Structure 1
């Protein structure tokens, strides 16, 4: 959906069909979308539904101009944004004792991310949506703390040499 919108296909009937699918399969009670592989071990995650997949749908939704977002999309954006903030961006895993555990991989910035995500991608998306919340502070500090003296960040997660 992200690239369909990016390349001007938002109003195409096929993209609208995709949006209908997204709306139809959204779990409004628990937030998110179910997927076959998630969670592999339900005792190790806090969200009931696929957290990483939701990031990609929300990223794509954040690129759609507000005036073109349906009321249903706005509700989903609001609910998913709150879920991200409740999990303080990357603290959605669960330790055996039930306490929160960070998704350490999301602290390694990279590109392309494919189905994975990172704090930088999520914070970009939240900022694009106009979200400002104290629960973002830890992620902002992490981004600031990992910035190099030249103002850049190291790409720590890459597929270079793996393909």
Structure 2
């Protein structure tokens, strides 16, 4: 088997959310076939199940992020069933934002969902950059106005180029977790709205923060900042890891030699059968699970890692 060739038949033997992305990114399928498969996300499989799990008012589990708690839960008890993580899963599935299902969902969330932090409307954002970055991703992709959140993120950028969810509590050094969430949001916003010189400059600052650290090292010592970042989960939630970082740079079209070490981390974890394992699943309540569990071959991680390596190896 060619080193860059994943087991396509195995990947295609899955949910429409995976199939259409495999067809688009790893095969020569015609655009019409890809679009037809993508359209099934709203009516079949995981996408349909998640849309059906909504409350009558269009939210999930009665709240934005921490329903019934009023704030972040204790470590290890994160709920992944509320509106923000559910919509992020639909974004990862590639639910077409132009479909009636997506438009209705977005309209209902805009009308009815409020942040537990201060009662502000969902698409006005919250206080933490990691939450606001994902809110911008969702608003930009699904067609809601998130300009207020973008303005806040620009104001919240730290001197080292990144962001940190603890800035309000005095943090002055950025976080990989917060920074990747914001970068993804700003990139989606630029795709939808074209961006501004300010958003592009902010993104470049955040990119440099990660690149200066080879995507996983401490700048001060060169040591691995967190061994967990060398393991690949899905969904990633708010957590950073090397594969998520590389997915961002692929999406942004940023090729930089400082990505090379991270690329080799991904390459080294490819198994002889062309698959990657699911690792480090983040604990917490979920509506349903997409894969068999940690330590088993993962279609999601195989898709994600394969297209990153394909992008990198075709550079030049």
Shorter chain as normaliser: what TM range? Answer: 0.7 to 0.9
Q: Does 1:33 align with 2:156?
A: no
1:26 Cα offset (Å): 1.8
Unaligned runs of 5+ in 2: 1-135, 286-316
> What's 2:223 paired with?
101
Pick closer, same or farther for the CA change 1:86–1:70 going to 2, 3 Å.
Answer: same
Hey, which of these two has a bigger chunk of helix by percent? 2
**Structure 1 residue 157: Cα displacement:** 1.4
Give every structure 1 segment of 4 or more consecutive aligned residues whose post-TM-superposition deviation is greater than 4 Å: none
For structure 1, the residue ranges without an aligned partner over 5 or more in a row are none
Return the alpha-carbon distance in structure 1 between the equivalents of residues 166 and 264 of structure 2. 34
Q: After alignment, is 51-60 or 61-70 more displaced?
A: 61-70
1:7 aligns with 2:142: yes
DSSP 3-state at the match of 2:161: coil
TM-score by length of 1: 0.79
User: RMSD across aligned C-alpha pairs, in angstroms?
Assistant: 2.6
- 8 Å contact from structure 2 (residues 216, 242) kept in 1: yes
Spell out the pairing of 1:17-28 with structure 2 (5 A cutoff): 17-27=148-158
What residue number does 1:55 align with? Answer: 180
Check if 1:125 corresponds to 2:257.
no
Query: Shift of the alpha carbon at 1:61?
Result: 1.8
Q: What is the CA–CA distance in structure 1 between the aligned matches of 2:227 and 2:168, rounded to whole Å?
A: 18
Alignment of 1:135-146 (within 5 A): 135-146=258-269
Larger RCO, structure (CA 8 Å, separation 6 or more): 1
1:109-158 CA distance string (max 9 Å, x none): 00122221111111010111111111111111111110122322101111
Provide, for residues 33-66 of structure 1, a one-character-per-residue CA deviation record: whole Å limited to 9, x for no partner. Answer: 3432799xx9xxxx82233201110012222318
Output the CA distance in 2 between the equivalents of 1:66 and 1:8: 8
Give the count of matched residue pairs.
148
Q: Is the 8 A contact 2:177 2:239 kept in 1?
A: yes
Aligned to 1:101, the other structure's residue is in SS state coil
- Distance between the aligned counterparts of 1:52 and 1:76, measured in 2? 16
Three-state SS of the structure 2 residue aligned to 1:90 is coil
After TM superposition, give the deviation of residue 76 of structure 1 in Å: 0.7
Match of 2:81 in 1: none
Query: TM-score, normalization: structure 2?
Result: 0.43
Structure showing greater Rg? 2
Contact 1:38 1:49 in 2 (8 A): no
Could you report, residue by residue, the CA deviation over 1:82-118 in whole angstroms, capped at 9, with x for unpaired residues?
Answer: 111100001137xxxx522212111110012222111
Q: Does residue 202 of structure 2 align to residue 80 of structure 1? A: no
